[in-house]
Amino acid sequence: MYEYEYNTLGINKDKFEIISIVETLQQVDIFIVKRKKGFNVCPYCGSTINHLNKYREKVLKHARFTNLNCLIHLKQRVLQCNDCFKYFTEKNNFSSKYFQLTNETVIYILDELKKTQSFKDVADRCNITTQSVINVFEKYVNCPRGKLPEILCIDEFKYSKLDKYKYACVLLDHNSREIIDVIQSRRLDFLESYFNNIPQEEKKHVRYLVSDMYDGYKHLAGRQLPNATFIVDAFHYIRYVMDAFNSVRIRIQKHYNTTSLQYYLLKKYWKNLSKCSLDISTKEFYSKKLDRLVTIHEITKMACNVDPSIKEAYLLKDNFLKDIRKTTQFDSEIKITFYINAFKSSTLPEFNKLASLFENWKQPIINSFIRDYNNKRYSNGVIEGMNSRIKTIKKVSYGYSNFFHFRNRIMYIVNDKTYISNTPKQSLNFYRKRRK
């Protein structure tokens, strides 16, 4: 009798007995009584001599037995030690101390929290409260900071509009693709305080720091990572060049009527004009506006003839995009210096401004041409993709008011490491801490 229930709940028949199961439309109640007296040691003095004082019923929630709300009513002996006369409750293999969830339920919750879903989604599936799921996560999941790697990527993502720190920061190992840590703010003073707590020997281990063009990261590399070469991801300075071209295009475009051919060419084909000419298709297509077959190369020539400023901006942008594909670590300084001078001597204020930016970031841009053992340039592409996953984690939960829940959840989901603690926090301790 009750063979399925014994196997499902992992009940040892030699020690426990299911005496009845009561099932209603909303709930299943399983009543269990201990059949044999076991060997019990007093937790206070270690004595094995004790006697029964009374029985106490412990009600546990079990989420993996049925889709209904399932309660296990466990009769536990309350014993009195014959030596120190203190009372204690016999141990059971169903749940942890102070927890009203079965161990099987806790394991299921921890498995589900590895997936990209909210605490509430897991709680609804387990027929328990959201706070109960959060309590399990707080008690069992411990995500310490990882060791700083040789190639460290750093990037920010928007955490909250309402929080004191609007942008949080991610540290990632370029080679293993694992998150080292998630930091609450990208502000330089916050980052310096964080890195001051890391041993100097560990910081000396970092050879490269890869980031976007945020000033705080540049200062961080110089002050905190003595052996690190600071690298700016190529995507970011290429974007500035393309933005400069598009600023010129929009400025000239506004001089023409919206129904004119000039406006049409600059507005309709702006994406093609922004591309490197090496990436443009040579296939012909029919243009309704021109009433003939054309290619993108023809469209580009026509657009450049609209205004000398468009032609100048296009050539500066296109020559730069073509040249950096051929640039190596050994001639990168010559090429970057050449384009800084070209931007300076331009008649376009947008590119004059770009020259100042490139001068300020000259060395990190030159460093971006350093290649790894696979002959690939170092980039922040890995961490940019990780930011997309982080945004999804945040989105499915409609945001996180508690940053440390958010940080631990990110690391628990993204990394392959096991963050389940062998020595879980004592429930009473972390409850008190959270109330402060």
Q: How far apart are CA 218 and CA 210, in angstroms?
A: 10
Element housing 172 (H / E): strand 167-173
How many helices and strands (H and E) does the chain possess? 18, 12
What stretches in the chain show pLDDT beneath 50? 428-436
CATH classification code of 151-233+378-419: 3.30.420.10
Q: What is the pLDDT of residue 153?
A: 96
Sorted by sequence, the CB contacts under 8 Å of residue 238 that are 6+ apart come out as 321, 324
Q: What is the pLDDT of residue 221?
A: 94
Sorted by sequence, the CB contacts under 8 Å of residue 198 that are 6+ apart come out as 148
Q: What is the pLDDT of residue 432?
A: 43
Q: Is 191 helix (H, G, I), strand (E, B) or coil?
A: helix
97, 68 contact by CB (below 8 A): no
383, 364 contact by CB (below 8 A): no
Q: What is the pLDDT of residue 226?
A: 94
The pTM of this model reads 0.83
Residue type (1 letter), 200:
Q
Q: Is 261 left (phi over 0), alpha (psi -120 to 50) or beta?
A: alpha
- The domain ranges of the chain are 3-94, 151-233+378-419, 234-367
**Token reading at 100:** 């009203």
Q: How far apart are CA 141 and CA 119, in angstroms?
A: 14
Place of tokens 């947008």: 350
| Residues constituting the chain | 436
Backbone angles phi, psi at 236, to 5 degrees: -75, -45
